[in-house]
Amino acid sequence: MSRVSRLVLGTARWALAARPDRALLSATVAAALDAGIDRFDTARAYSPPGRPGEGERLLAEALGPHARAGRARVATKGGHWRRPDGSFAVDARPATLRSHVEASLRVLDTERLDRYFLHWPDPAVPLAESIGALADLRTAGLIAEVGVCNVGVAQLEAACAAGPVAAVQNRLAYLGVDDPVRERCAVLGLEYEAYSSLGGPDGPGRLEELTRREPRVAALAARLGATGAQLALAWLLAQGAEVVPVLGAGREGSVRASAAAATLTLVADDLALLDEVRPRPAPDTA
């Protein structure tokens, strides 16, 4: 798999907006496909208040004929949704997960979901029960691959014991967010999807500031013709073949910049420099 096709376009922000700009979403999705990014991420919870599945609907609309032509792989998530008051709820009981999967199949207009994540472990339901339910739906042919989000190492081990898990989606970023689950995924042969990997909406600005402040990083950026965000993305991809960044983007330019970043090669000295100046992870994320 090329490094560009290891990128996923995350669509949460479009879906959470009160009035998403559909034309801009279509243009961003088209730019992603054009740049070689053919993986997309959504969730039942990515919706305006009280309209579960709206984000999946928007993405399906933007993908349109590309999805029907099999040009796009879509991952979605369930067991989590947005209430009418705007708050988020978790319910990962087997019956709920089945109804969420069935709703996603309808909205995405497909017979099988490419990848389905348990969005959050439900403290009221044993993880083995939730994963067992998704494994049954996979056996029934409704899901191609099962994944888990927002898990620690022990939860990942429990999930893997309960069914065939293909991937994890957790938070990991150059800007001070580490995650021991990434190394565990490498050992277990699972994909590790890294979300908020540029540090969220204000991350790219902080990355540019860090690049300007540190002359050796500025020199590296100039040598490679890269921005701070692109260096952070190249650093992330260099952490291991299991890493698949999930990038939120509201503009075509961001998508194309990310695809270009995936073609950058950082040598050992470059990585050592970036590690040296990297903001230290907060103790609870290390």
Ligand X SMILES: NC(=O)c1ccc[n+]([C@@H]2O[C@H](COP(=O)([O-])OP(=O)(O)OC[C@H]3O[C@@H](n4cnc5c(N)ncnc54)[C@H](OP(=O)(O)O)[C@@H]3O)[C@@H](O)[C@H]2O)c1
Residues that bind ligand X (CB under 6 A): 10-13, 41, 149-150, 169, 195-201, 203-204, 229, 246-251, 254, 257-258, 261
Q: How far is the CB of 200 from ligand X (least distance, A)?
A: 4
Token couple for 228: 């701070």
8 Å CB contact between 121 and 130: yes
Q: How far is the CB of 80 from ligand X (least distance, A)?
A: 8
200 versus 279: smaller Cβ distance to ligand X: 200
Phi, then psi, of 10 in degrees rounded to 5: -85, 140
130 versus 254: smaller Cβ distance to ligand X: 254
Residue indicated by tokens 């692109």: 230
User: How, if at all, do strands 113-118 and 143-149 pair?
Assistant: parallel
117 versus 270: smaller Cβ distance to ligand X: 117
Q: How far is the CB of 120 from ligand X (least distance, A)?
A: 7
Q: How far is the CB of 46 from ligand X (least distance, A)?
A: 7
Q: How far is the CB of 191 from ligand X (least distance, A)?
A: 13
163 versus 245: smaller Cβ distance to ligand X: 245
246 versus 264: smaller Cβ distance to ligand X: 246
Q: How far is the CB of 68 from ligand X (least distance, A)?
A: 22
163 versus 248: smaller Cβ distance to ligand X: 248
Long-range Cβ contact pairs of 123-130 (< 8 A, separation 24 or more): 123/90, 125/91, 125/92, 125/93, 127/155, 127/158, 127/159, 127/162, 128/158, 128/159, 128/161, 128/162, 129/92, 129/93, 129/94, 129/162, 130/79, 130/92, 130/93, 130/94, 130/97
Q: How far is the CB of 15 from ligand X (least distance, A)?
A: 8
Token couple for 4: 């560009």
Query: Could you tell me which residues are beta bridge partners of residue 169?
Result: 149, 193
User: Which are the contacts of 212, defined by CB distance < 8 A and separation ≥ 6?
Assistant: 218
60 versus 257: smaller Cβ distance to ligand X: 257
